[in-house]
Amino acid sequence: MALDVELEVLFPENLMAPTLAQAASWTRVASIVTAARVIEKRTDEITYHFFLAFPDDELLETVIIRVLAYLIRNYRCSREKLALAQRVDPAIQRRTLENLAHVRLNPTISSGGPSVVRKQMPQLADREPMRVLRVVDAPPVLELIFEPFQMLRSTIVSLYTEAAKVSALDKAAGKTSDNPRSIVVHRPYGDGALLATLDALIYFALGLRVGIEWGTDHVSVERGFQCFNIVGQPPLQATHFEIARSAFRKLMKELSRP
């Protein structure tokens, strides 16, 4: 990836920290219940580490580790899910819930190449060359972070795979052009800030430009896929469409205010 100085300009800490911390919402209630039982010594099923496997690509590994680092520093267990966990298992003690609410991550993460994957994860032996991260932390913590780490890994791999194809086409086009600069300006769209930010970070890591072009005397309002959806079963009444139009006009009026 580019130097941290350049990364900080486009992806500042005050943006990345709260955005990627949203991945903590992927912690399952069932995992919180298990973590509580581990703390209270009410289970023999204890996890001491887990693995994250992904295609053998050093840049991809760098992106995954950098994203995980943001989550590690900012992870918080949802108090709403803690309350649900106690409903699932009323035997969970209040002190245990408070400990989980204030838990902080301190994992040891080590990486290995295809030879390590073949040894540690033989079920992947027939797949393409893979790399792996081994994550070690306190057993209750591992229960909390397993799903968020897995989901981030899977999301990043999916986005990276598509972005790498664009990067390959861009490089091929660059060989036949007098302009060495990338022709791709990617506008990341997604279902939310987390996905869009990951998408943008991956394109940046691959050396592609992210965002929209602007300059002196160029002013625009970029609303992306702003729309109002009318949900219902036909036949829909005309009043539904008028409500949507009114809401859209109000939005445009707010945007046009000086």
Instruction: Give the span between the Cα atoms of 33 and 88, in whole angstroms.
Output: 8
What predicted TM-score, i.e. pTM, was given to this entire model? 0.79
Residue 254 lies in a domain: yes
Q: Model confidence over 199-232: pLDDT tens digits?
A: 989 998 998 877 765 555 555 555 555 666 777 7
Residue-number span of the structural domain to which 237 is assigned: 226-258
With tokens 């289970």, the residue in question is: 43
Concatenate the DSSP letters of all residues of 64-105 into one string. Answer: HHHHHHHHHHH----HHHHHHHHHH-TTS-HHHHHHHHT---
- Section 228-249 average pLDDT: 78
22 and 122 housed in the same domain: yes
Highest mean pLDDT among 45-59, 110-124, 238-252: 45-59
Residue 147 lies in a domain: yes
Query: What is the chain's mean pLDDT, rounded?
Result: 86
206 and 239 housed in the same domain: no
Count of structural domains within the chain? 2
164 and 238 housed in the same domain: no
Residue 217 lies in a domain: no
139 and 195 housed in the same domain: yes
108 and 230 housed in the same domain: no
Q: Residue 163's pLDDT band (boundaries 50, 70, 90)? A: very high
Q: Residue 139's pLDDT band (boundaries 50, 70, 90)? A: very high
200 and 256 housed in the same domain: no
185 and 245 housed in the same domain: no
Instruction: Give the span between the Cα atoms of 206 and 187, in whole angstroms.
Output: 15
The b/e string for 231-252 (b: 16+ C-beta within 10 A; e otherwise) is eeeeeeeeeeeeeeeeeeeeee
Q: Residue 93's pLDDT band (boundaries 50, 70, 90)? A: very high
Residue 251 lies in a domain: yes
Residue 221 lies in a domain: no
63 and 182 housed in the same domain: yes
190 membership: H or E segment, kind and range: none
Nearest to 68 by CA among 120, 111, 29: 111
Q: Residue 133's pLDDT band (boundaries 50, 70, 90)? A: very high
What are the structure tokens assigned to 192, written together?
């939310």
9 and 107 housed in the same domain: yes
